[in-house]
Structure 1
Protein backbone atom coordinates (compact mmCIF):
# COMPACT_ATOMS: atom_id res chain seq x y z
CA UNK A 1 0.00 0.00 0.00
CA UNK A 2 1.01 3.60 -0.63
CA UNK A 3 0.61 6.17 2.19
CA UNK A 4 -2.33 7.81 0.42
CA UNK A 5 -4.32 4.57 0.52
CA UNK A 6 -5.16 5.33 4.15
CA UNK A 7 -7.28 8.29 3.00
CA UNK A 8 -11.02 7.52 3.21
CA UNK A 9 -13.16 7.85 0.08
CA UNK A 10 -16.61 9.40 -0.08
CA UNK A 11 -17.39 9.36 -3.78
CA UNK A 12 -19.44 12.34 -4.96
CA UNK A 13 -21.01 10.34 -7.80
CA UNK A 14 -19.88 12.55 -10.67
CA UNK A 15 -19.89 10.73 -14.02
CA UNK A 16 -17.00 10.14 -16.33
CA UNK A 17 -17.21 12.46 -19.32
CA UNK A 18 -15.28 12.46 -22.58
CA UNK A 19 -12.56 15.11 -22.92
CA UNK A 20 -13.61 17.28 -25.89
CA UNK A 21 -10.91 16.89 -28.56
CA UNK A 22 -11.40 20.44 -29.78
CA UNK A 23 -10.45 21.82 -26.35
CA UNK A 24 -7.11 20.10 -25.86
CA UNK A 25 -4.35 18.48 -27.87
CA UNK A 26 -4.73 14.70 -27.57
CA UNK A 27 -2.08 12.09 -28.29
CA UNK A 28 -3.25 9.98 -31.25
CA UNK A 29 -3.06 7.07 -31.48
CA UNK A 30 -3.37 6.65 -27.73
CA UNK A 31 -0.05 5.18 -26.53
CA UNK A 32 -1.50 2.33 -24.45
CA UNK A 33 -4.18 1.38 -26.95
CA UNK A 34 -1.40 1.12 -29.52
CA UNK A 35 0.30 -1.45 -27.28
CA UNK A 36 -2.90 -3.48 -27.08
CA UNK A 37 -4.14 -2.43 -23.63
CA UNK A 38 -7.65 -3.84 -22.99
CA UNK A 39 -9.89 -0.77 -22.91
CA UNK A 40 -12.82 -2.60 -24.49
CA UNK A 41 -15.53 -0.04 -25.29
CA UNK A 42 -13.98 2.57 -22.98
CA UNK A 43 -12.21 5.72 -24.13
CA UNK A 44 -8.94 6.57 -22.34
CA UNK A 45 -9.80 10.24 -22.82
CA UNK A 46 -12.31 10.54 -19.99
CA UNK A 47 -12.30 12.35 -16.65
CA UNK A 48 -14.80 13.08 -13.91
CA UNK A 49 -16.90 16.10 -14.86
CA UNK A 50 -15.45 18.35 -12.15
CA UNK A 51 -11.89 17.34 -13.02
CA UNK A 52 -12.48 18.21 -16.67
CA UNK A 53 -13.80 21.65 -15.68
CA UNK A 54 -10.68 22.25 -13.60
CA UNK A 55 -8.47 21.12 -16.50
CA UNK A 56 -10.22 23.62 -18.76
CA UNK A 57 -9.48 26.31 -16.16
CA UNK A 58 -5.82 25.25 -16.15
CA UNK A 59 -5.64 25.60 -19.92
CA UNK A 60 -7.26 29.03 -19.69
CA UNK A 61 -4.56 30.16 -17.24
CA UNK A 62 -1.82 28.68 -19.44
CA UNK A 63 -3.02 30.50 -22.53
CA UNK A 64 -3.16 33.81 -20.72
CA UNK A 65 0.55 33.33 -19.95
CA UNK A 66 1.57 31.54 -23.16
CA UNK A 67 -1.13 32.20 -25.80
CA UNK A 68 0.35 29.77 -28.33
CA UNK A 69 0.73 26.81 -25.94
CA UNK A 70 -1.80 24.11 -25.15
CA UNK A 71 -2.10 21.25 -22.70
CA UNK A 72 -1.68 17.88 -24.42
CA UNK A 73 -3.48 14.89 -22.88
CA UNK A 74 -1.29 11.79 -22.88
CA UNK A 75 -3.56 9.64 -20.72
CA UNK A 76 -6.55 9.99 -18.42
CA UNK A 77 -8.99 7.24 -17.39
CA UNK A 78 -7.65 3.68 -17.01
CA UNK A 79 -9.77 0.64 -16.24
CA UNK A 80 -8.13 -1.72 -13.74
CA UNK A 81 -7.39 -4.20 -16.54
CA UNK A 82 -5.39 -1.52 -18.36
CA UNK A 83 -3.47 -0.71 -15.19
CA UNK A 84 -2.54 -4.38 -14.86
CA UNK A 85 -1.56 -4.58 -18.53
CA UNK A 86 0.74 -1.57 -18.24
CA UNK A 87 2.39 -2.81 -15.04
CA UNK A 88 3.11 -6.13 -16.77
CA UNK A 89 4.32 -4.36 -19.91
CA UNK A 90 6.65 -2.06 -17.96
CA UNK A 91 8.05 -4.95 -15.95
CA UNK A 92 8.80 -6.84 -19.16
CA UNK A 93 10.48 -3.79 -20.69
CA UNK A 94 12.74 -3.51 -17.64
CA UNK A 95 13.51 -7.23 -17.77
CA UNK A 96 14.59 -7.02 -21.40
CA UNK A 97 16.75 -3.98 -20.65
CA UNK A 98 18.43 -5.33 -17.51
CA UNK A 99 18.55 -9.05 -18.26
CA UNK A 100 18.40 -9.37 -22.06
CA UNK A 101 19.82 -12.90 -22.07
CA UNK A 102 17.43 -14.33 -19.48
CA UNK A 103 14.09 -15.84 -20.40
CA UNK A 104 12.82 -15.46 -16.83
CA UNK A 105 13.71 -13.74 -13.56
CA UNK A 106 14.69 -15.10 -10.21
CA UNK A 107 12.44 -14.19 -7.27
CA UNK A 108 14.96 -11.57 -6.10
CA UNK A 109 15.30 -10.06 -9.57
CA UNK A 110 11.53 -9.93 -9.99
CA UNK A 111 11.12 -8.27 -6.60
CA UNK A 112 13.79 -5.67 -7.38
CA UNK A 113 12.34 -4.75 -10.76
CA UNK A 114 8.78 -4.65 -9.45
CA UNK A 115 9.88 -2.23 -6.72
CA UNK A 116 11.08 0.11 -9.48
CA UNK A 117 7.87 -0.30 -11.48
CA UNK A 118 5.55 0.56 -8.60
CA UNK A 119 7.43 3.78 -7.90
CA UNK A 120 5.78 5.04 -11.09
CA UNK A 121 2.82 2.70 -11.65
CA UNK A 122 0.10 2.28 -9.05
CA UNK A 123 -0.74 -1.27 -7.99
CA UNK A 124 -3.77 -2.45 -10.03
CA UNK A 125 -5.95 -3.11 -7.00
CA UNK A 126 -9.58 -4.22 -7.30
CA UNK A 127 -10.17 -3.22 -3.68
CA UNK A 128 -12.59 -0.23 -3.73
CA UNK A 129 -10.64 1.25 -0.79
CA UNK A 130 -7.39 1.46 -2.79
CA UNK A 131 -8.13 2.31 -6.43
CA UNK A 132 -5.26 3.29 -8.74
CA UNK A 133 -5.45 7.07 -9.28
CA UNK A 134 -6.18 6.83 -13.01
CA UNK A 135 -9.00 4.37 -12.38
CA UNK A 136 -10.88 7.05 -10.46
CA UNK A 137 -11.16 9.38 -13.44
CA UNK A 138 -9.47 12.06 -11.33
CA UNK A 139 -5.89 11.78 -12.62
CA UNK A 140 -4.39 12.90 -15.90
CA UNK A 141 -0.97 12.65 -17.54
CA UNK A 142 -0.15 15.74 -19.58
CA UNK A 143 2.53 17.77 -21.28
CA UNK A 144 2.64 21.02 -23.26
CA UNK A 145 2.68 21.64 -27.01
CA UNK A 146 3.11 24.77 -29.10
CA UNK A 147 0.80 26.16 -31.78
CA UNK A 148 2.07 23.65 -34.36
CA UNK A 149 1.58 20.69 -32.00
CA UNK A 150 5.28 20.24 -31.32
CA UNK A 151 6.13 19.21 -27.74
CA UNK A 152 7.55 21.79 -25.36
CA UNK A 153 10.81 20.20 -24.09
CA UNK A 154 10.44 18.79 -20.57
CA UNK A 155 13.73 16.93 -20.21
CA UNK A 156 12.32 13.41 -20.16
CA UNK A 157 9.45 11.54 -21.78
CA UNK A 158 6.27 10.64 -19.93
CA UNK A 159 6.51 7.23 -18.18
CA UNK A 160 10.31 7.15 -18.07
CA UNK A 161 11.42 5.13 -15.05
CA UNK A 162 14.33 7.22 -13.86
CA UNK A 163 15.17 10.13 -11.59
CA UNK A 164 14.74 12.48 -14.57
CA UNK A 165 11.00 12.04 -14.09
CA UNK A 166 11.11 13.66 -10.66
CA UNK A 167 9.55 17.14 -10.98
CA UNK A 168 12.54 19.08 -9.61
CA UNK A 169 15.29 16.93 -11.13
CA UNK A 170 16.64 19.84 -13.21
CA UNK A 171 16.10 22.55 -10.58
CA UNK A 172 19.72 22.67 -9.38
CA UNK A 173 21.36 21.94 -12.74
CA UNK A 174 23.44 24.87 -13.98
CA UNK A 175 23.39 24.48 -17.75
CA UNK A 176 20.86 26.58 -19.70
CA UNK A 177 19.07 23.63 -21.31
CA UNK A 178 18.40 22.02 -17.94
CA UNK A 179 17.07 25.30 -16.60
CA UNK A 180 14.79 25.54 -19.63
CA UNK A 181 13.39 22.08 -18.86
CA UNK A 182 12.79 23.11 -15.26
CA UNK A 183 11.09 26.33 -16.32
CA UNK A 184 8.71 24.46 -18.62
CA UNK A 185 7.84 22.02 -15.83
CA UNK A 186 7.17 24.93 -13.53
CA UNK A 187 4.83 26.57 -16.06
CA UNK A 188 2.86 23.31 -16.31
CA UNK A 189 2.82 22.94 -12.54
CA UNK A 190 1.58 26.47 -11.97
CA UNK A 191 -1.17 26.12 -14.56
CA UNK A 192 -2.43 22.98 -12.87
CA UNK A 193 -2.10 24.05 -9.25
CA UNK A 194 -3.86 27.33 -10.03
CA UNK A 195 -6.84 25.18 -11.06
CA UNK A 196 -6.68 23.08 -7.88
CA UNK A 197 -4.66 20.06 -9.00
CA UNK A 198 -1.78 18.44 -7.12
CA UNK A 199 1.26 16.95 -8.84
CA UNK A 200 2.60 13.46 -8.19
CA UNK A 201 5.81 13.77 -6.10
CA UNK A 202 7.84 11.66 -8.57
CA UNK A 203 6.20 12.37 -11.94
CA UNK A 204 6.34 15.79 -13.58
CA UNK A 205 3.42 14.85 -15.88
CA UNK A 206 0.89 13.38 -13.42
CA UNK A 207 -1.75 15.61 -11.84
CA UNK A 208 -4.90 14.76 -9.92
CA UNK A 209 -7.81 16.44 -8.22
CA UNK A 210 -10.09 14.84 -5.67
CA UNK A 211 -8.59 11.34 -5.47
CA UNK A 212 -6.74 9.78 -2.53
CA UNK A 213 -3.31 11.03 -3.63
CA UNK A 214 -4.66 14.58 -3.99
CA UNK A 215 -6.28 14.43 -0.54
CA UNK A 216 -3.11 13.03 1.02
CA UNK A 217 -0.97 15.79 -0.53
CA UNK A 218 -3.46 18.38 0.71
CA UNK A 219 -3.13 16.99 4.23
CA UNK A 220 0.67 16.91 4.00
CA UNK A 221 0.59 20.62 3.15
CA UNK A 222 -1.92 21.41 5.91
CA UNK A 223 -2.04 18.69 8.60
CA UNK A 224 -4.92 20.38 10.43
CA UNK A 225 -7.26 19.82 7.47
CA UNK A 226 -9.40 16.67 7.32
CA UNK A 227 -8.50 14.59 4.27
CA UNK A 228 -11.23 12.80 2.32
CA UNK A 229 -11.16 11.77 -1.33
CA UNK A 230 -14.29 12.64 -3.31
CA UNK A 231 -13.49 10.30 -6.21
CA UNK A 232 -13.15 6.54 -5.84
CA UNK A 233 -13.04 3.91 -8.54
CA UNK A 234 -15.06 5.24 -11.48
CA UNK A 235 -18.04 3.51 -13.00
CA UNK A 236 -17.95 2.75 -16.69
CA UNK A 237 -18.45 5.82 -18.84
CA UNK A 238 -18.56 6.38 -22.56
Structure 2
Protein backbone atom coordinates (compact mmCIF):
# COMPACT_ATOMS: atom_id res chain seq x y z
CA UNK A 1 0.00 0.00 0.00
CA UNK A 2 1.39 3.41 -0.95
CA UNK A 3 2.04 6.34 1.35
CA UNK A 4 -0.78 8.94 1.06
CA UNK A 5 0.28 12.11 -0.76
CA UNK A 6 3.25 10.63 -2.58
CA UNK A 7 3.65 11.58 -6.24
CA UNK A 8 3.65 8.65 -8.70
CA UNK A 9 7.37 8.97 -9.43
CA UNK A 10 8.17 8.17 -5.79
CA UNK A 11 7.35 4.51 -6.50
CA UNK A 12 9.87 4.22 -9.37
CA UNK A 13 12.52 1.50 -8.77
CA UNK A 14 15.93 2.50 -7.41
CA UNK A 15 19.25 0.81 -8.20
CA UNK A 16 21.67 2.63 -5.96
CA UNK A 17 25.00 3.73 -7.46
CA UNK A 18 26.55 4.37 -4.06
CA UNK A 19 28.25 7.65 -4.92
CA UNK A 20 29.28 9.95 -2.06
CA UNK A 21 27.95 13.40 -1.37
CA UNK A 22 30.46 16.05 -2.44
CA UNK A 23 30.47 19.80 -1.70
CA UNK A 24 29.18 22.29 -4.26
CA UNK A 25 32.18 24.61 -4.82
CA UNK A 26 31.39 28.14 -3.75
CA UNK A 27 34.06 29.57 -6.06
CA UNK A 28 32.24 28.26 -9.14
CA UNK A 29 28.64 28.91 -8.13
CA UNK A 30 26.84 31.51 -6.07
CA UNK A 31 25.52 30.00 -2.83
CA UNK A 32 22.52 31.39 -0.92
CA UNK A 33 24.06 32.32 2.43
CA UNK A 34 23.13 32.09 5.18
CA UNK A 35 21.27 28.98 4.16
CA UNK A 36 17.56 29.74 4.69
CA UNK A 37 16.55 26.43 6.31
CA UNK A 38 19.61 26.18 8.53
CA UNK A 39 18.91 29.75 9.66
CA UNK A 40 15.47 28.59 10.84
CA UNK A 41 17.08 25.83 12.88
CA UNK A 42 16.55 22.89 10.52
CA UNK A 43 18.48 19.87 11.87
CA UNK A 44 21.23 19.23 9.30
CA UNK A 45 23.64 17.72 11.83
CA UNK A 46 26.99 17.16 10.13
CA UNK A 47 25.57 17.50 6.61
CA UNK A 48 25.72 20.51 4.32
CA UNK A 49 22.77 21.65 2.17
CA UNK A 50 25.38 22.65 -0.39
CA UNK A 51 26.28 19.10 -1.38
CA UNK A 52 25.19 16.67 -4.10
CA UNK A 53 26.05 13.23 -5.40
CA UNK A 54 29.30 13.22 -7.37
CA UNK A 55 27.84 12.72 -10.86
CA UNK A 56 25.09 15.25 -10.17
CA UNK A 57 27.68 17.89 -9.36
CA UNK A 58 29.50 17.10 -12.62
CA UNK A 59 26.24 17.67 -14.48
CA UNK A 60 25.70 20.93 -12.57
CA UNK A 61 29.16 22.13 -13.61
CA UNK A 62 28.24 21.34 -17.22
CA UNK A 63 25.09 23.43 -16.85
CA UNK A 64 27.11 26.33 -15.42
CA UNK A 65 29.55 26.18 -18.36
CA UNK A 66 26.65 26.23 -20.83
CA UNK A 67 24.99 29.18 -19.09
CA UNK A 68 28.20 31.20 -19.31
CA UNK A 69 28.51 30.41 -23.00
CA UNK A 70 25.09 31.83 -23.79
CA UNK A 71 25.05 34.49 -21.04
CA UNK A 72 28.64 35.57 -20.28
CA UNK A 73 29.09 36.55 -16.65
CA UNK A 74 25.89 34.88 -15.46
CA UNK A 75 25.96 32.22 -12.73
CA UNK A 76 23.75 29.59 -11.23
CA UNK A 77 22.67 30.56 -7.73
CA UNK A 78 22.35 27.45 -5.57
CA UNK A 79 19.55 27.69 -3.03
CA UNK A 80 19.48 24.11 -1.73
CA UNK A 81 20.96 20.71 -2.49
CA UNK A 82 21.06 17.73 -0.14
CA UNK A 83 18.35 17.68 2.50
CA UNK A 84 18.13 14.98 5.20
CA UNK A 85 14.66 13.57 5.81
CA UNK A 86 14.78 15.14 9.28
CA UNK A 87 15.04 18.55 7.59
CA UNK A 88 12.16 17.62 5.28
CA UNK A 89 10.00 16.89 8.33
CA UNK A 90 11.06 20.17 9.95
CA UNK A 91 10.30 22.29 6.88
CA UNK A 92 6.93 20.66 6.22
CA UNK A 93 5.86 21.45 9.79
CA UNK A 94 7.31 24.97 9.61
CA UNK A 95 5.52 25.73 6.34
CA UNK A 96 2.25 24.34 7.68
CA UNK A 97 2.45 26.56 10.78
CA UNK A 98 3.27 29.63 8.67
CA UNK A 99 0.28 29.02 6.40
CA UNK A 100 -1.92 28.43 9.44
CA UNK A 101 -1.06 31.93 10.73
CA UNK A 102 -2.35 33.61 7.58
CA UNK A 103 -5.17 31.18 6.76
CA UNK A 104 -6.56 30.04 10.13
CA UNK A 105 -9.99 29.42 8.62
CA UNK A 106 -8.69 26.76 6.18
CA UNK A 107 -9.21 23.09 7.06
CA UNK A 108 -6.02 21.25 8.10
CA UNK A 109 -6.24 18.84 5.17
CA UNK A 110 -6.48 21.74 2.72
CA UNK A 111 -3.54 23.51 4.33
CA UNK A 112 -1.49 20.36 4.12
CA UNK A 113 -2.38 20.07 0.43
CA UNK A 114 -0.90 23.55 -0.07
CA UNK A 115 2.25 22.48 1.77
CA UNK A 116 2.63 19.38 -0.38
CA UNK A 117 2.32 21.42 -3.56
CA UNK A 118 5.89 22.52 -2.79
CA UNK A 119 7.30 20.14 -0.19
CA UNK A 120 7.72 16.44 -0.88
CA UNK A 121 6.13 14.14 1.67
CA UNK A 122 8.78 13.05 4.21
CA UNK A 123 9.44 9.32 4.26
CA UNK A 124 11.78 7.01 6.15
CA UNK A 125 11.05 4.20 3.70
CA UNK A 126 14.13 3.39 1.53
CA UNK A 127 11.91 2.91 -1.54
CA UNK A 128 10.25 6.35 -1.30
CA UNK A 129 12.85 8.98 -0.39
CA UNK A 130 12.08 12.69 -0.74
CA UNK A 131 14.01 13.88 -3.83
CA UNK A 132 16.42 16.15 -1.96
CA UNK A 133 17.21 13.36 0.51
CA UNK A 134 18.88 11.46 -2.34
CA UNK A 135 21.45 14.18 -3.02
CA UNK A 136 20.28 14.24 -6.65
CA UNK A 137 17.96 17.27 -6.58
CA UNK A 138 18.91 20.93 -6.54
CA UNK A 139 16.92 24.16 -6.09
CA UNK A 140 18.46 27.10 -7.89
CA UNK A 141 17.98 30.37 -9.70
CA UNK A 142 20.07 32.83 -11.74
CA UNK A 143 22.52 35.65 -11.05
CA UNK A 144 23.23 38.15 -13.85
CA UNK A 145 26.55 39.60 -14.98
CA UNK A 146 26.25 42.39 -12.41
CA UNK A 147 25.87 39.95 -9.54
CA UNK A 148 22.18 40.67 -9.13
CA UNK A 149 19.49 38.06 -8.59
CA UNK A 150 17.36 37.62 -11.71
CA UNK A 151 13.63 38.16 -11.09
CA UNK A 152 11.89 34.83 -11.72
CA UNK A 153 8.39 36.07 -10.89
CA UNK A 154 8.08 34.37 -7.51
CA UNK A 155 10.43 33.33 -4.72
CA UNK A 156 11.57 29.76 -4.25
CA UNK A 157 9.18 27.76 -2.01
CA UNK A 158 6.18 30.05 -2.49
CA UNK A 159 3.00 28.02 -1.91
CA UNK A 160 1.00 29.50 -4.77
CA UNK A 161 0.22 28.87 -8.45
CA UNK A 162 3.04 31.30 -9.34
CA UNK A 163 5.47 28.49 -8.55
CA UNK A 164 4.25 26.50 -11.55
CA UNK A 165 6.92 26.69 -14.30
CA UNK A 166 4.48 27.87 -16.99
CA UNK A 167 2.41 30.24 -14.85
CA UNK A 168 3.39 33.37 -16.80
CA UNK A 169 2.73 34.06 -20.50
CA UNK A 170 5.64 33.09 -22.74
CA UNK A 171 6.46 36.71 -23.63
CA UNK A 172 6.71 37.72 -19.95
CA UNK A 173 10.23 38.52 -18.67
CA UNK A 174 9.60 36.04 -15.86
CA UNK A 175 8.79 33.27 -18.32
CA UNK A 176 11.88 34.13 -20.36
CA UNK A 177 14.07 33.89 -17.27
CA UNK A 178 12.49 30.59 -16.23
CA UNK A 179 12.95 29.22 -19.72
CA UNK A 180 16.61 30.23 -19.67
CA UNK A 181 17.12 28.33 -16.42
CA UNK A 182 15.24 25.35 -17.86
CA UNK A 183 17.27 25.42 -21.09
CA UNK A 184 20.50 25.59 -19.09
CA UNK A 185 19.64 22.63 -16.90
CA UNK A 186 18.16 20.32 -19.54
CA UNK A 187 21.30 20.91 -21.64
CA UNK A 188 23.18 19.03 -18.91
CA UNK A 189 20.56 16.28 -18.64
CA UNK A 190 18.50 17.51 -15.69
CA UNK A 191 14.72 17.37 -15.59
CA UNK A 192 12.51 20.01 -14.00
CA UNK A 193 9.90 19.33 -11.37
CA UNK A 194 6.49 19.82 -13.06
CA UNK A 195 5.21 22.05 -10.23
CA UNK A 196 8.34 24.02 -9.24
CA UNK A 197 10.26 26.30 -11.60
CA UNK A 198 13.40 26.11 -9.42
CA UNK A 199 13.71 22.34 -8.78
CA UNK A 200 15.84 20.11 -11.03
CA UNK A 201 16.95 16.50 -10.71
CA UNK A 202 19.42 14.10 -12.25
CA UNK A 203 19.46 10.43 -11.34
CA UNK A 204 16.65 10.34 -8.78
CA UNK A 205 13.16 8.84 -9.10
CA UNK A 206 11.68 11.98 -10.71
CA UNK A 207 14.43 11.99 -13.34
CA UNK A 208 13.92 8.29 -14.07
CA UNK A 209 10.15 8.66 -14.25
CA UNK A 210 10.33 11.61 -16.67
CA UNK A 211 13.07 10.18 -18.90
CA UNK A 212 11.76 6.60 -18.93
CA UNK A 213 14.90 5.17 -17.36
CA UNK A 214 14.18 1.73 -15.82
CA UNK A 215 15.74 2.67 -12.48
CA UNK A 216 16.76 5.70 -10.49
CA UNK A 217 20.49 5.86 -9.69
CA UNK A 218 20.13 7.30 -6.19
CA UNK A 219 18.04 6.49 -3.16
CA UNK A 220 18.13 8.08 0.26
CA UNK A 221 21.53 8.97 1.66
CA UNK A 222 21.92 6.99 4.85
CA UNK A 223 22.09 9.51 7.69
CA UNK A 224 24.72 8.98 10.36
TM-score strictly above 0.5? yes
8 Å CA contact retained: 1:16, 1:235: no
Q: Which residue of 2 aligns with 1:210?
A: 203
Which of 55, 58, 61 aligns to 2:63? It is 58
Matches within 5 A, 1:100-119: 109-119=107-117
Tell me what 1:222 maps to.
none
Which one of 198, 208, 219 corresponds to residue 232 of structure 1?
219
SS of the aligned residue for 2:107 comes to: helix
What are the residue-to-residue correspondences of 1:138-217 with 2, within 5 Å? 138-172=136-170, 179-217=172-210
Equivalent residue pairs, number? 219
Judge conservation of contact 1:218–1:227 (CA < 8 Å) in 2. no
Q: Which runs of 5+ in 1 are unaligned?
A: 103-107, 220-225
CA contact (8 A) 1:15 1:235 kept: no
Structure-1 residue corresponding to 2:37 = 32
SS at match of 1:53: helix
Larger RCO (CA within 8 A; separation ≥ 6): 1
Alpha-carbon offset, residue 59 of structure 1: 0.4
SS of residue matched to 1:192: helix
Distance between the aligned counterparts of 2:207 and 2:115, measured in 1?
A: 21
- Which deviates more, 144-153 or 27-36? 144-153
Q: CA RMSD for the aligned pairs? A: 1.4
Report deviation, 1:151: 0.5
**Residue deviations 1:28-83, cap 9 Å, x none?**
10000111101111111000000000000000000000012100000000011100
Query: TM-score, with normalisation over the residues of structure 1?
Result: 0.89
